[in-house]
Amino acid sequence: MTDAVTFRGVSRHFGSVKAVDEVDLAIQDGEFFAMLGPSGSGKTTCLRLIAGFEQPTAGHIEIFGERADGVPPYLRNVNTVFQNYALFPHMNVRENVAFSLRVKGMGRAERHRAAEEALELVELAGYGNRRAGELSGGQRQRVALARALVNKPRVVLLDEPLGALDLKLREQMQEELRSLQRSLGLTFVFVTHDQDEALSMADRVAVFADGKIQQIGTSEDIYRRPCSRFVADFVGSSNVIPADLVGAGAAGKWASLRPEDIVLDPAGQEVKVTGRFFHGRVTKLSLDFAGQNLTALVPAHADAPDVGETALIGWDPSRVHIMEEDT
């Protein structure tokens, strides 16, 4: 099967800034692909390269197997949903959604029909006559999505599309986006710096740092088998400790052990509790384990010891992940 988007040795440098640095990447057709990384790691530049708003300074991009060099954005079969939505506030919703069709010269009746169809997809049927400026944040987000879908692209690029929404709405939109992507069978490339969002939504995740991809894999791969200390720390919080301390042998290597994989175990090892924080569902414990700081998350109903007391802890050895490198 042809990949939807392929990066072949792609770099985009701005003077001495290596925004994207020798990236190789294949995004499959129909995949929900997340680009995750800290601010400035090159995610948005990757998206802009796919969209055609930026050109590589080295390497090239293919879209459905065809080189995209010099192909202008509107001929790329991809559409972008921007973080700020970029709606025209004085136009009504239907005109906003149909705008690009008007630019392409499509007739009024036909483009209005297409706009209504796209609005139905995002569950805004009947909102066509409202002014964009009168909508709530969540509704604006849907209009922005409808505006991308109206062109029937095969790839939808989403740059932090939920960043402006409050947590409840954000979680609801995550589910809706995911099910829309599935039902339409489109390729979604989604940029976020929110690791929960990336892990919960994506089929596969690429973790970026300094313009390079640190790791690509399924959410479970990235979370359970991080390739480096950077990935282990960025994707969730992790205890990174000398491997021999957790009985995993491999002297000189490092182990990552997720806080939720540490359990209170009467037959376990003795540690000192240095912090205890109630979080509702869980209690977070800071522990001193042979001079190493560990974080553990235990169920809130567990009878967790208090600061200054001793705790007995254990873990399932299969949850200990040895990292090949410590970059």
Whether the CB-CB separation of 287 and 263 falls below 8 Å is answered with no
* Residue 49 C-beta: closest distance to ligand ATP, Å: 9
Specify the residue, 210 or 288, whose C-beta has the smaller distance to ligand ATP: 210
Task: Report d(CA 128, CA 125) in Å as an integer.
Answer: 7
Choose between 137 and 163: whose C-beta lies nearer to ligand ATP. Answer: 163
Question: Residue 238, interface with ligand ATP (CB under 6 A)?
Answer: no
CB of 81 or CB of 255, closer to ligand ATP: 81
Residue 11 binding ligand ATP, by CB under 6 A: no
Residues numbered 190 to 209 that lie near ligand ATP (CB under 6 A) are 193
| 45 vs 295 by CB, closer to ligand ATP | 45
Strands (E), 124-246: 155-159, 187-192, 204-209, 212-217, 239-242
The stretch near ligand ATP (CB under 6 A) out of 43-51, 282-290, 303-311, 313-321 is 43-51
- Phi and psi at 223, nearest 5°, equal -80, -45
Question: Is residue 170 close enough to count as binding ligand ATP by CB under 6 A?
Answer: no
Residue 214 in the binding site for ligand ATP (CB under 6 A): no
Identity of the residue, 163 or 217, whose beta carbon is nearer to ligand ATP in the bound complex: 163
DSSP structure string for 240-287: EEEGGGGT---TT-EEEE-GGGEEEEEEEEEEEEEEEEE-SSEEEEEE
- Per DSSP, 132 falls in state G
Specify whether the CB–CB gap between 288 and 243 falls below 8 A.
Answer: no
DSSP 128: T
Token pair of 26 as six digits: 């294949």
Q: Which of 9, 17, 123, 277 binds ligand ATP (CB under 6 A)?
A: 17
In whole angstroms, how close is the CB of 84 to ligand ATP at the nearest point?
12
Among 6, 7, 43, 295, the residue binding ligand ATP under the rule CB under 6 A is 43
When binding is defined by CB under 6 A, the residue of 10, 42, 63, 304 that contacts ligand ATP is: 42
* 271 Cβ contact list (under 8 Å, min separation 6): 287, 288, 289, 294, 310, 311, 312, 313
Spatial contact of 128 and 93, defined as CB atoms under 8 Å apart: yes
Which residue, 161 or 259, has its beta carbon nearer to ligand ATP? Answer: 161
Q: Verify binding: residue 307, ligand ATP, rule CB under 6 A.
A: no
Which residues contribute to the site for ligand ATP (CB under 6 A)? 14, 17, 19, 37, 39-45, 193
